[in-house]
Structure 1
Amino acid sequence: MQPLPYAQQPGPYGQPGPYTQPGPYAQPGPYGQQPGPYPQPGPYGPHPTQPQYPGAPFPPPPGGGSRTFFRGKPAAIIGAALAAVLVIGGGAWLALGGGEDDPRPDAKRSGGPQPTGSEPVDQGGGNGTGRKEVDDLNAGRKDGESKVLWLAKNDVDLPRNGATVYGPWFAGDIVVKGMYKELAGYSADDGGKKWSLPLPAELCAAPVRGTDDGKIVIAYKDGTGGKADCTRLQLVDLRTGKTGWQKTITKKGAFDLLSSVTLAISGNTVTAARTGNGEAFRISDGAPLFGKLPGNCQPQAFAGGPKLIAAETCRTGDYGKTQEQLQELDPATGKARWTYKLPVDWQVDKVYSVSPLVVSLSQPDRKKWSVIALNANGTLRSQIDGGTDRYRPRCGGGFVVFGEILEGCVGVAADADTFYMATEPRTGGAARTNSVVAFDLDTGKRKWRADAPAEQTMIPLRMEGPNVLLYVEPKYDAGGAVATLAPTGGKPTVLLRNPASTSSIERTFWDPRLAYHDGRFVITSGRVSASNDEEEKETKTMMAFGQ
């Protein structure tokens, strides 16, 4: 375990060490700091980096909470196409209408970090569990259960406070994660380390997804001292670890000295956003695409994927009021395709789905929350009516100062017609269970609810064709499972049922990051930390299951 390369820094969420992380959103996000720590990390308790949503009272008590929707009779939408209808207060409704400088370096080939090449380790081991240990883990496997393909232990010498894990990302038969000063690619089949890319300084930002052809742009700090900023962008091929162009992003304005960088990818564009500033680069060659947008509103964060969505802050001249808006931008030019203005003092906190567009909004001073769906032209499609249920989307992403990470939530999914959200687990005796609720995106009304298997909880991950892809979380005597839920509801159909004999390991991953690709399921710790060097090396960081 390394001493910190700079002055002692606080833990990832403004608290000492990794296990006193507050809910809900990164400061100064919509819900501010909540007390920690939380009991039982992993699937059996609220994940420390996942938002704990406001029901009653607010803030939620230590140990978790959930969100309830606002309810009331909808008022008529007034104004032009930008009108938004949102519930405020105790059931009242509000309807409101709304109506370059670019000093960046030229693209260049990387002269910095380079991969060390293929570094195979013991087959089935990733970083420390060999074939025999994997065989031992499968010894108790029952008929119908998946295999443990490999189990990886930490091999990165970390600072005292540990480090956030980025990824995992799949690229063909390679699965990649980043942590501290390294990106590493592993064989999805046996966990052998295929490549390692040392970084000059700490990894500080990464998108939730790479490109379709296996590229990603990550950010690392411009030094190792206490004043180092997150300004260096690096193109990396996820399949090989080879590097491409590098960029140094520029800081503009006083808030840029404090705010974190967040990255998003849409097509051949990567965006880098800070508070009130954003710029975009072409992924193929690093060429700058756009920077400051025209007008009084500037991006604070982006959501990528099939569309590029910008959450923007607008100057109002009144520091007591907050005005935000959403725009869909052309990824190549930054030109706005539509604009949706939020009511005053409402904020964008998460984008649950880009296509169709489903957005989480909050009014933090009044402890209010709403979820809306927008049409393809940016007009209001519906407001989700959650009824009396309490909900718990899980939105990790690490510590962000004066910025937003819009993407990366699980517990939610959407197809063209329906939005799916997991409820807060219900406890009866020692058992915990929950449901997935489906909402009609045209009306916002509930369509159906599907219950998790007895004494287990399930969370939507994404869509898998027409079905909802789920992770059924493990319990003390049953492994987790990857399953699908039909668009009509009913019981989940299991794709992979993980061994009950390894559920004690599966349950230990802290703030787990989950990825399913081509029949393989990988679970990764969202943060790695330990009290001493020996524990650090024995920390289990990744586990893979398959047939």
Structure 2
Amino acid sequence: MSFGPAPSPFTQSLRAAKDRKKQRVKRWLSICGVLIVVTGVGSWFMWGGSPAANDAKSSNAPSSARQAPDEVSEADGKTPVNPEARMAVEYNDKKLKPGESSYLPGSWATAKTFAMAQGSTLTGYRFTQWDPVWSTRLGGAICSTTRHVTVDGRTAVVAQSGRGGKANAKSACNLLVVFNVDTGKKIWQVTLPHSDDAYATNMNVTLTRGVAVTAWGSGSAAYDLRQGKKLWEAPGKEACNDSGFAGGRDLLALQTCGSSDDDTSYRVQKIDRRTGKPEWTYQVGRGVGATYLVSSNPPVIAVAAGADSVTDLIVLDAHGKHRSTVALGVDRYVTDCGGSLFGTVESCDSVIVGSRQVFVGGKPSIEALFTDRPANSIAAFDLHSGKPVRKFKSKARRAMYPIQVSGDRLLAFRATDDNRAPSSVVSIDPKTGTERPYLLFEMPADMAALGEPESLDVTISHGRVFFAFKEIHAPTKADDSGLIPGVVGYESAG
């Protein structure tokens, strides 16, 4: 039996999206032998303005106050006692038949549990226990997930459903499920209204304080996170439709306007999570090929201007007014925007936003990966001015990419498939560039030598780091199938 769904409109739409993305990825990345895992053209007038107030000061500094149970959990700031790591979680697929593949659309971690989605099943693991402690099967294949988890361990997924509660290959992705990561218990589930045309490639789900929000291209809806009561619904409109949302501290909506590709434009709104009413609107300038929501607070969006990949980051202030533009140029940095097959707009995993700076990893050159020069560097840009303020250089032949901001430090991942040095997560002081080890570990070779940015989900939580493939493949030959690596996680050895 395989977790992989049978060929269907669900899998066909995913494969079509994946093929389009692969055509845009430069093939030299596969030579790099590094892991790309985490996450300028124009000026202010090019991107348009906002009719909001003109206060340019930001009120988005992170709060040190204790978070409420229904808030989205933020980086806990925990530092491992000892950087030498041991394996905390390992999952190898045993059920795929030769030539089959299976999607792992999401993974999450709390202080107690690592959980993952695969096919139509949610599975939870306790640390250093290799067998799952819970398993929850949904009605159909999981179509969309959010990386957000509440302080008390809840998150949300969208799965296929069908008439009479039985999903089939043609079922829409219209079942919203909220569950507890520690126990696997479904807290509630609802069928989304008027979502018969919702599929994995246009479905989006996110969390903000006390609310789960979904969009599917032709509509959107929000639900109380505790009870599952519908708070508001926004049916699709001909002029502008909700493409998706970014959650976390605040709620941002990305809207697509226009009826044809030649007439498409985008706007971003801050939404009152309980009522669905916009608090401000920012109109993205015309001529932008794609727009993504990077962060809700501080509000940061990514745009592709005159290129297939992201060229600029636009930083807004607390009132939706243009604050700065970070010019990235074309194919200079790893942003991973649009790299996810599951979820459509909140997907720039390699762009890491802090309270004062945004961090982006540079693309390594082929030459640098075979010399003693630093393979790449992480660039820090000032949110207020948009200007580069510092670069943190990696090591020779070992590229480095940002993962998250924890407290006042940046956590970054440096992979290697070289036996002379371990892979590592390092902690960097953005003010001085001083680096210290966070965790040191030996990764499986096939994870440490990946070449495409959309291949892995990376999660750091409570001093642990987890790597999960987004899609796993069994070899074509039957005698080579064996165990298929899917997830590995590390924690301090003490």
Question: Which amino acid counterpart does residue 472 of structure 2 have in structure 1?
Answer: V
Please report how far the alpha carbon of residue 351 of structure 1 lies from its aligned counterpart in structure 2 after TM superposition: 2.1
* 8 Å Cα contact 1:410/1:459 also seen in 2: no
* 8 Å Cα contact 1:449/1:489 also seen in 2: no
Question: Which amino acid counterpart does residue 352 of structure 2 have in structure 1?
Answer: A
* Cα pair distance change 1:250/1:294, threshold 3 Å: closer
Cα-to-partner distance string for 1:476-515 (whole Å, 9 max, x where unaligned): 223211111112142422111113xx55254267812111
What is aligned with 1:200? Answer: 139
Cα-to-partner distance string for 1:255-289 (whole Å, 9 max, x where unaligned): 65896311111111111111142111111111111
* Cα pair distance change 1:397/1:454, threshold 3 Å: closer
Q: Quick one: which of 120, 123, 130 aligns to 1:181? A: 120
* Cα pair distance change 1:37/1:307, threshold 3 Å: same
What is aligned with 2:79? Answer: none
Q: Quick one: which of 452, 456, 459 aligns to 1:512? A: 456
What is aligned with 2:411? Answer: 469
Q: What is the SS of the residue equivalent to 1:291?
A: strand
Please report how far the alpha carbon of residue 203 of structure 1 lies from its aligned counterpart in structure 2 after TM superposition: 1.3
What is aligned with 2:21? Answer: 23
What is aligned with 1:522? Answer: 466
In the TM superposition, 1:394-405 aligns within 5 A as 394-395=336-337, 398-399=340-341, 405=344
* Cα pair distance change 1:493/1:298, threshold 3 Å: same
Q: What is the SS of the residue equivalent to 1:284?
A: coil
* 8 Å Cα contact 1:422/1:436 also seen in 2: yes
Does the alignment pair 1:496 with 2:439?
Answer: yes
* Cα pair distance change 1:158/1:186, threshold 3 Å: farther
Write the distance in 2 (CA, Å) between the matches of 1:366 and 1:4. 30
* 8 Å Cα contact 1:42/1:512 also seen in 2: no
* Cα pair distance change 1:387/1:319, threshold 3 Å: closer
Please report how far the alpha carbon of residue 180 of structure 1 lies from its aligned counterpart in structure 2 after TM superposition: 0.4
* Cα pair distance change 1:388/1:246, threshold 3 Å: closer
Q: Count the aligned residue pairs.
A: 450
Write the distance in 2 (CA, Å) between the matches of 1:371 and 1:74. 11
Does the alignment pair 1:437 with 2:376?
Answer: no
Q: Which is bigger in relative contact order (C-alpha 8 A, separation at least 6)?
A: 2
* Cα pair distance change 1:326/1:159, threshold 3 Å: farther
Q: CA RMSD in A?
A: 3.5
What is aligned with 1:380? Answer: 322
What is aligned with 2:193? Answer: 250
Please report how far the alpha carbon of residue 521 of structure 1 lies from its aligned counterpart in structure 2 after TM superposition: 1.5
Does the alignment pair 1:289 with 2:231?
Answer: yes
* Cα pair distance change 1:332/1:293, threshold 3 Å: farther
Gaps of 5+ in 2: 55-81
Gaps of 5+ in 1: 25-32, 52-68, 85-142
Does the alignment pair 1:410 with 2:349?
Answer: yes
* Cα pair distance change 1:22/1:456, threshold 3 Å: farther
Q: What is the SS of the residue equivalent to 1:292?
A: strand
* 8 Å Cα contact 1:281/1:289 also seen in 2: yes
Please report how far the alpha carbon of residue 396 of structure 1 lies from its aligned counterpart in structure 2 after TM superposition: 6.4
Q: What is the SS of the residue equivalent to 1:230?
A: coil
Q: What is the SS of the residue equivalent to 2:182?
A: coil
In the TM superposition, 1:72-83 aligns within 5 A as 81=51
What is aligned with 2:179? Answer: 236
* 8 Å Cα contact 1:385/1:446 also seen in 2: no
* Cα pair distance change 1:41/1:394, threshold 3 Å: farther
Q: What is the SS of the residue equivalent to 2:228?
A: coil
Write the distance in 2 (CA, Å) between the matches of 1:248 and 1:277. 13
Aligned residues with identical type, % of pairs? 20
Please report how far the alpha carbon of residue 252 of structure 1 lies from its aligned counterpart in structure 2 after TM superposition: 5.7
* 8 Å Cα contact 1:468/1:486 also seen in 2: yes
Q: Which has the larger radius of gyration?
A: 1
Write the distance in 2 (CA, Å) between the matches of 1:78 and 1:364. 16
Question: Which amino acid counterpart does residue 267 of structure 2 have in structure 1?
Answer: Q
Please report how far the alpha carbon of residue 200 of structure 1 lies from its aligned counterpart in structure 2 after TM superposition: 2.5
Does the alignment pair 1:343 with 2:285?
Answer: yes
* 8 Å Cα contact 2:467/2:488 also seen in 1: yes
What is aligned with 1:354? Answer: 296
Cα-to-partner distance string for 1:111-168 (whole Å, 9 max, x where unaligned): xxxxxxxxxxxxxxxxxxxxxxxxxxxxxxxx96322334321145579652221332
What is aligned with 1:13? Answer: 15
* Cα pair distance change 1:10/1:303, threshold 3 Å: same
Question: Which amino acid counterpart does residue 488 of structure 1 have in structure 2?
Answer: K
TM-score, normalization by structure 1: 0.73
Please report how far the alpha carbon of residue 12 of structure 1 lies from its aligned counterpart in structure 2 after TM superposition: 3.8
Question: Which amino acid counterpart does residue 423 of structure 2 have in structure 1?
Answer: G
Cα-to-partner distance string for 1:307-341 (whole Å, 9 max, x where unaligned): 111001234x7763112210010111111111101
Please report how far the alpha carbon of residue 534 of structure 1 lies from its aligned counterpart in structure 2 after TM superposition: 6.4
Question: Which amino acid counterpart does residue 44 of structure 1 have in structure 2?
Answer: V
Please report how far the alpha carbon of residue 214 of structure 1 lies from its aligned counterpart in structure 2 after TM superposition: 0.8
What is aligned with 1:92? Answer: none
